[in-house]
């Protein structure tokens, strides 16, 4: 009995606020299927199904900036308008995105091409492992050639020549300096 009263009440409320017969004749002309949703509706609109009363379909305006949208294609929402994309309301740390979002301006991406060639030449002179601190030093010379280019300029050749001379070490560790000492705090 309560279910009948609720159904009658819902029908009564819908008749007060929405002229049902007129809405059905106007709205039932489009097809909300994804491949047909733009067939009947004017430019800037798409055919959608009402999310609360799925038997009702109508033409709805495509999303504008900051308007609600759906991140996936559904029969209940239009996609965002030209030059816009649907930014999800929630993105979890695991990469799961929410179904609903807001229309925002689509970002244009610029790609740059970079080519890198590296040539390395190393000359090393080892010094003997003695306690003599006046022995020969290590000298290393590295030459790198890197042609670089991007979309706006022509390729250029960049050459880096770096030379380095080691300063001789004045102490050689022989392992004799390691001694076991008692920690005064532990005892």
pLDDT tens readout for residues 152-177: 444 444 444 444 555 555 555 555 55
Average pLDDT of the residues of the chain: 67
Domains of the chain and any CATH numbers: 16-105 (2.10.80)
Tokens for 135, please give them. Answer: 């022995």
Q: What number is the average pLDDT over the span 125-145?
A: 51
Q: CB atoms < 10 A from the CB of 70, how many?
A: 20
Mean pLDDT of 131-158: 47
Share of the chain above pLDDT 90, in %: 6
Cα(140)–Cα(102) distance, integer angstroms: 58
Place 104 in a pLDDT band, splitting at 50, 70 and 90.
very high
What residues have CB less than 8 Å from 79, skipping those under 6 apart?
46, 62, 63, 69, 70, 73, 86
For residues 11 and 44, the model is more confident at 44
Range 49-55 contact pairs with CB under 8 angstroms and sequence separation of 24 or more:
49/75, 49/76, 50/76, 51/76
Degrees, nearest 5: CA angle 101-102-105: 130
pLDDT at 103: 93
Question: Residues near 34 by Cβ (< 8 Å), separated by ≥ 6?
Answer: 73, 75
State how far the alpha carbon of 115 is from the alpha carbons of 53, 119, 133, 144, 159, in Å. 58, 13, 45, 14, 14
Residues in the chain: 187
- What pLDDT is stored for residue 84 in this prediction? 92
Owner of token pair 């294609």: 73
pLDDT score, position 102: 92
Q: What is the pLDDT of residue 87?
A: 92
pTM of the model: 0.40
Residue with the bigger pLDDT between 130 and 33: it is: 33
Q: Return left, alpha or beta for 107; rule: phi > 0 is left, psi -120 to 50 is alpha, else beta.
A: beta
| Segment 65-98, tens digit of pLDDT | 998 888 888 888 888 988 999 999 988 888 888 8
pLDDT of residue 117: 55
Q: Given a cut of 60, is residue 44 above it in pLDDT?
A: yes
């Amino acid at each position: 009995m309560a279910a009948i009263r609720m159904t009658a009440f819902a029908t009564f409320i819908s008749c007060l606020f929405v002229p049902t017969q007129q809405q059905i004749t106007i709205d039932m002309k489009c097809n909300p299927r994804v491949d047909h949703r733009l067939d009947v509706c004017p430019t800037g609109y798409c055919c959608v199904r009402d999310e609360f009363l799925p038997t009702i379909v109508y033409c709805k305006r495509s999303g504008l900036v900051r308007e609600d949208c759906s991140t996936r294609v559904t029969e209940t929402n239009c996609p965002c308008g030209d030059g816009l994309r649907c930014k999800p309301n929630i993105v979890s740390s695991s990469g799961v995105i929410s179904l609903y979002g807001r229309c925002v301006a689509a970002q244009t991406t610029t790609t740059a091409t970079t080519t890198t060639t590296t040539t390395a030449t190393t000359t090393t002179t080892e010094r003997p492992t003695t306690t003599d601190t006046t022995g020969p030093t290590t000298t290393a010379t590295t030459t790198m050639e890197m042609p670089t280019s991007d979309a706006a300029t022509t390729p250029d050749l960049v050459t880096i020549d770096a030379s380095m001379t080691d300063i001789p070490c004045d102490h050689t560790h022989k392992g004799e300096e390691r001694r076991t000492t008692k920690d005064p705090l532990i005892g």
